[in-house]
A and B are shown apart, each in its own frame.
Chain A
Amino acid sequence: MRTKHYLGVVALLAGVMGLGAVLADTPVSEQAQMVIPNPGEQVIKVSSHKFEFVPAAITLKKGVPVVFELTSTDVIMGFNVPDFKNRATIIPGVVTRIRIVPDKVGTFTFFCDIFCGAGHEEMSGLITVEA
């Protein structure tokens, strides 16, 4: 029921924003991704707007799972972390969560992967994973 309601919100927002074509090719499983943080699990809130993520620099511990709570205050954004093979579509007004388990040390890029405007190509951040 909760998932059904969520998809309804997504469809409504997408229709309002004229982005039905985008979501038509996005797997429902991805749209409906409902990650619930485990008790005591680290949660990092990342908000986005044209053309930045806040925060844009995030530090994690290797092997410690983290849930990202992603929001957008203006348009549909993407949140893509290729080195950890995870991404999400962020719908304005909807909290989207993804879980990442950083399994390697280093500095890794995350970026918006849905073209969102003139500053889209600069919309990125860094995740630093410490041992």
Chain B
Amino acid sequence: MDHKVDRRGFLKLAGMGAGVVFASRLALNSGSALAAGYGSGSGADADDFFFVQMSDTHWGFSGDKVNPDAKGTLQKAVAAVNALEHAPDFIFFTGDLTHTTDDPKERRRRLAEFKDIVSKLNVKNVRFTPGEHDASLDFGAAYQEFFGDTHYTFEHKGIQFIVLDNVSDPTASLGTNQLAWLKKVLDGFSKDQNIVVFTHRPLFDLYPQWDWATRDGQAAIDLLMPYNNVTVFYGHIHQQNYHMTGHIAHHSAQSLMFPLPPPGSQPKRMPVPWNPETPYKGIGFRETQAEVKEHGFNITEYPVVKA
């Protein structure tokens, strides 16, 4: 665990108008620690772009003490993303699209409903990776019927995005085949290539006592370590978390169904109860501005409902 925020980047609080909780910036090059202006677009390079990360929507969850609006939160999130000032180039869902069910028919029904709801997003470049709730009971079979491959790559404006699946294996592993694939992908990149990894579970041992880890995640980190510009975005833990493994930054996202408590803050990992005085607190999504030439990312967190 090696936080190098002071030297390699900085975190700043910023009041960005209605809806924005905070903005943070991780500059991967130490000499580029000036944030581009939010809202105005000042300082942004022509190649810079925005993407949105949405996570842990758990469509199909029910439990009024945790989220009495379980059947309406995802639709509110879609509306909030559609209302963003900056239209993102693409939107990425980092898993647990649906809440798990032992019934394969119900699993497919939930996946179909989820897909229909997110089809209302104005931005049509939408990509996905599964969470264990979607994929761990059938090795990703139902998920793949709706969303295709569970691990893949894509390129956008010079950044190479790698999507890793650490949930289709119910042991929460990437597996030797996927690790070999990852090595082959990385072998094709220069050491200075700007690389972003999307995955569901943390690749590092965030808090194994609550199963917040990937069994063979360290092997993936070892493969990524020789590359100078790597950032990982993931979900699973239903809250923001920032962690460095060497020079690799790992950012977790909030859930769009219910928050979970900070790691180790209580004996059991249980959802944070709904507070009628602060509805939707801890539920939200993030918009990230990619500064392509500077290998930096400005992250802005949004609540699902404006206060």
Contact = CB atoms under 8 A, between A and B. Distances in A.
A84 to B, nearest CB: 11
19 contacts: A19-B170, A21-B169, A22-B169, A25-B169, A25-B171, A25-B175, A80-B208, A107-B267, A109-B209, A109-B267, A111-B209, A115-B100, A115-B132, A115-B172, A116-B170, A117-B137, A118-B102, A120-B100, A124-B268
A82 interface: yes
Contacts of B268: 124
Contacts of B209: 82-83, 108-109, 111
Interface of A: 19, 21-22, 24-26, 78, 80, 82-83, 89, 107-109, 111, 113-118, 120-121, 124, 126
A117 B267 contact: no
Contact of B211 (A89, A111, A118, A126): A111
Contacts of B169: 21-22, 25
A29 to B, nearest CB: 15
Contact of A113 (B102, B172, B267): B172
Nearest to B216: A25
Interface of B: 100-102, 132, 136-137, 139, 167, 169-173, 175-176, 208-211, 215-216, 267-269
B140 to A, nearest CB: 10
A89 B173 CA distance: 14
A80 to B, nearest CB: 8
Given A82-B209, A115-B170, A121 B102 contact: no
Nearest to A108: B209
B269 A121 contact: yes
Contacts of B216: 25
Contacts of A121: 211, 269
Nearest to A120: B100
Contacts of B136: 115
B176 A115 contact: no
B267 A126 contact: yes
A118 B268 CA distance: 17
B102 A82 contact: no
A114 B175 CA distance: 14
Nearest to A83: B209
Contacts of A83: 209
Nearest to A107: B267
A106 to B, nearest CB: 12
Nearest to B100: A118
A82 B137 contact: no
A78 B136 CA distance: 14
Contacts of A25: 169, 171, 173, 175-176, 216
A117 B171 contact: no
A25 to B, nearest CB: 5
Contacts of B139: 21
Contacts of B215: 113
